[in-house]
Structure 1
């Protein structure tokens, strides 16, 4: 299998650890959407399971791309997610990061805007395209599917961008590691 044909290792990070959190519903939907695409190999990374141990950093390090599924708490992203980002620095370098956000009226977009400079400091490439759910609990049906078809379209746009960036940056990391000109 050639480098470009190798599956893109996509880590889907559930960034909330609160009791009663809605993140697993959103993350499961997005991960299932990504799994329908043969170019992705999906790793579900839930902070409630990995915590801040070396396992979280290893899984981010093994990924070619990351999607952070985050709620908006108090106009920002959750503290445990910030701690996880801080505890794993170099693993994020030169990797594309997409966002799936959920929350109240803003749909979690304020959380995403606060994540962008943190990820830039980690030398990750935050993607512009974002999937956002305003009033998330009402936006999903009882089976965990979004009620609006536009969500699937937004996920497709994000996954298309992630695939391009993941392949491009993986190739650059390989060339840089071998001393080839980038």
Structure 2
């Protein structure tokens, strides 16, 4: 089976964001894993206005009318799975991440996802909201998650200094995610053969 491709999505574009540092740490923990390629995917590189497609993404990619939608769709379609790195804003994920997710449908279907969050209470509520959103998009999300507290895993709320135990939990997340990503890819391939 070919190498799995997994995106580590930075779910914040806010000036001074902590997300880039957290995502870089995730990438470092994933380095050297066999049979898989992790790639950093920064929403800053895909500036999307508030959802401006006149037709629901469920209607299919042939009806995408905007260049930014087609570029985003092409990128997301490359991956077998995603690690969403999200802040918690007002008991939920960031608006920019939710907007980016809402742009697409089929590109997310039958893929896998894991979650890494940060916030005052570790960002756990952001993950809970993302689980519901991704279930609607037919994304299989894994049980293991990483939650970083701004009070204990950051110095002065900005310098990322995660507790050592998080590294072991990251490996569990990767194990689960890669397993599901492979299973979901097999399912997509079988569906494509049936449709041919």
TM-score, normalised to structure 1's length?
A: 0.88
Query: Which digits, 9 at most, give the CA deviation of each residue in 1:92-145, with x for residues without a partner?
Result: 1011110000001x2000000111111111111121210110116x5157xx76
Call closer, same or farther: CA 1:156–1:145 in 2, change over 3 Å. farther
Name the structure 2 match of 1:33.
29
Equivalent pair of 1:107/1:134 in contact (CA under 8 Å): yes
**Which one of the candidate residues 139, 142, 149 is aligned to 2:153?**
139
**Which one of the candidate residues 36, 51, 61 is aligned to 2:47?**
51
Query: Which digits, 9 at most, give the CA deviation of each residue in 1:41-92, with x for residues without a partner?
Result: 1221111111232333222211011000000011110111111011122111
For 1:147 and 1:23, locate their aligned partners in 2 and report how far apart those are by CA, in whole Å.
13
Which secondary structure does the structure 2 equivalent of 1:90 belong to? coil
**Which one of the candidate residues 123, 139, 156 is aligned to 2:138?**
123
For 1:8 and 1:145, locate their aligned partners in 2 and report how far apart those are by CA, in whole Å.
28
For 1:50 and 1:41, locate their aligned partners in 2 and report how far apart those are by CA, in whole Å.
21
For 2:8 and 2:71, locate their aligned partners in 1 and report how far apart those are by CA, in whole Å.
14
Which secondary structure does the structure 2 equivalent of 1:91 belong to? coil
Which secondary structure does the structure 2 equivalent of 1:92 belong to? coil
Equivalent pair of 1:13/1:67 in contact (CA under 8 Å): yes
Equivalent pair of 2:148/2:162 in contact (CA under 8 Å): no
Give the alignment of 1:90-109 within 5 angstroms.
90-104=106-120, 106-109=121-124
Query: Which digits, 9 at most, give the CA deviation of each residue in 1:17-55, with x for residues without a partner?
Result: 111100000001101211221222122111111123233
- Give RMSD over aligned pairs: 1.9
**Which one of the candidate residues 12, 16, 36 is aligned to 2:12?**
16
Which secondary structure does the structure 2 equivalent of 1:51 belong to? coil
**Which one of the candidate residues 167, 186, 190 is aligned to 1:152?**
167
For 2:29 and 2:146, locate their aligned partners in 1 and report how far apart those are by CA, in whole Å.
12
TM-score, normalised to structure 2's length?
A: 0.82
* Residues paired across the two proteins, number: 173
Alignment gaps of 5+ in structure 2: 49-67
Name the structure 2 match of 1:165.
180
For 2:140 and 2:162, locate their aligned partners in 1 and report how far apart those are by CA, in whole Å.
30
**Structure number with bigger Rg:** 2
